[in-house]
Amino acid sequence: MEGRPDTGVVTRAGLLYLGLALAGLVLSRLQVELVGRIGEWFVRELRSRTVDHVMSMSVRYFDRTPAGVLVSRMTADVDALQDAVQLGVVPFT
């Protein structure tokens, strides 16, 4: 037994490394999933509040503002924020 090296330390270190790598993979996936769900909630809430706000405007506002301009602007703004949430938040997490 004198000539044989102790491989138990290397084996334990290798298993620890594999365990940590697997945990990192699982936690990374959970993080992306959580950020996605929060982003979807954010966009849904933003759309809902935007529609509620537009519906609360007076009739006079709609006389001055063409409906096509209003819908186009709402859609473009919400889509831009949705893209920012989907593409911009994940790299920062």
How far apart are alpha carbons 40 and 46 in whole angstroms? 10
SS3 of residue 21 by DSSP: helix
Q: Is the pLDDT of residue 1 over 60?
A: no
pLDDT at position 56 is: 92
The angle formed by the CA atoms of residues 30, 35 and 41, to the nearest 5 degrees, is 125
For the entire predicted model, the pTM comes to 0.63
Q: Is the pLDDT of residue 13 over 90?
A: yes
How far apart are alpha carbons 60 and 55 in whole angstroms? 12
> CB neighbours (10 Å) of residue 85?
19
Q: pLDDT tens digits for 35-76? A: 888 888 988 998 899 889 988 989 898 888 888 888 888 888
